[in-house]
Structure 1
């Protein structure tokens, strides 16, 4: 993948979008459907022609991009206090996955099988969430490091919401893989914040001049 600032910010926005949706689901029991659909469908874009193709167009990660931009500029976002922790955890988990070729092959094989459920049920069906959450549980959740999600217990104990959260974390790892492939690293969040903010601003301006 091309390591342009544009590609990096799109990939990183995908991570932030997944993280913010996890936080919202865990705390409120709901999350915007269109943004969730983008995350779910991104899991099945395994050989994309571009970073944008993974998300069906850069405009589909505007939700995550706005949150990312505020975190980079102000190092906080009053509505998503746990999201940055999820982002950093997702980036770390993706690094662990990248070191384990056997698990990566299992993930790819299981996603191929789940594709028929996407085509049959659509991206927001309980059966697909259950299948994708199962892949996450059987692979990424077996690593020593696990992401701890905080929220309202009444929501977290509901199987559908738990499956959605695991699916979104899974999609965050997918976006984190893109971030690595475009040359992104955790150090970028510390030392290249201004460049990332500028790239985010250009992309947001582009969205609103279409």
Structure 2
């Protein structure tokens, strides 16, 4: 694949690449759900909290019944903000995963993605079913509007406990009534903590929204199955862009 100049405008990604970015958001939500359920939100650190915030913000901006903005970075900000999702998606497509590929890509250590893959695939299925129900669409829209109206009251904090609770309730009122029901596996300690449970459901809602956006961009389960090679090429292209940017930042700091 021909690599672009270091200052390639990320707004010039093509439709397939934007689909991969949206798909990575689904996998990022799934991986965070798995991490929090097994180890607790305190263990994901500041970086994990940042990855979660990006998804929660996007879940409020992906609206019902509107023509989708074809630029996925309007919702997900930058490739680095979806690093965990891109990495988890790549791991899921290439199992067993080679931790030392021939080319240098930015990496974030994650465990075997099998559980996250299961959550992500369920979210892709559920998104179509949820958005097929007008009542569920209305519920999602009402939740979004209520949070946005009161956002200043929440100190513009996407991880405010009230926002987390509202998004968690939106998931419970919609996707939880449909199959396949996502049965999250984890530690008993995490499930005893009401905030952890709400955060897990809020992230499932964020994953549901990202999956809906992926479908709106033309994504489909069939494409996911038969276009694995293309998806991997796009992921590694994104990784090269990130690596180039990191190199430029290092060089500029040394001047």
**Would you say same fold, with TM above 0.5?**
yes
Shift of 1:59: 2.5
Q: Which whole-Å deviations, capped at 9, do the CAs of 1:31-85 have from their partners, x for residues lacking one?
A: 3110010111011113664211111223311111011112112266743330010
Taking the aligned partners of 1:43 and 1:78, their CA distance within structure 2 comes to 25
Contact 1:14 1:175 in 2 (8 A): yes
Corresponding residue pairs, total: 209
Larger Rg: 2
Contact 2:92 2:113 in 1 (8 A): no
How do 1:92-171 and structure 2 match up within 5 A? 92-121=125-154, 122-171=157-206
The alpha-carbon distance between structure 1 residues 177 and 148, as it changes in their structure 2 partners (threshold 3 A), is: same
1:69 is matched with: 90
Taking the aligned partners of 1:85 and 1:203, their CA distance within structure 2 comes to 24
Shift of 1:134: 1.3
Contact 2:62 2:213 in 1 (8 A): no
Taking the aligned partners of 1:98 and 1:129, their CA distance within structure 2 comes to 21
Unaligned stretches of 5+ in structure 2? Answer: 1-12, 98-109, 246-255
Deviates more, 1:181-190 or 1:31-40: 181-190
Runs of 4 or more above 6 Å deviation: none
Shift of 1:159: 0.4
1:89 is matched with: 122
How do 1:22-41 and structure 2 match up within 5 A? 22-30=33-41, 31=44, 32-41=48-57
Name the Cα RMSD after superposition. 1.9
> Relative contact order (C-alpha < 8 Å, sep 6+): which is higher?
1
The alpha-carbon distance between structure 1 residues 51 and 197, as it changes in their structure 2 partners (threshold 3 A), is: same
TM-score (norm 1): 0.92
SS in 2 for 1:71: helix
Shift of 1:117: 4.3
Deviates more, 1:183-192 or 1:31-40: 183-192
Unaligned stretches of 5+ in structure 1? Answer: none
TM-score (norm 2): 0.76
2:225 is matched with: 190
SS in 2 for 1:53: helix
The alpha-carbon distance between structure 1 residues 3 and 208, as it changes in their structure 2 partners (threshold 3 A), is: closer
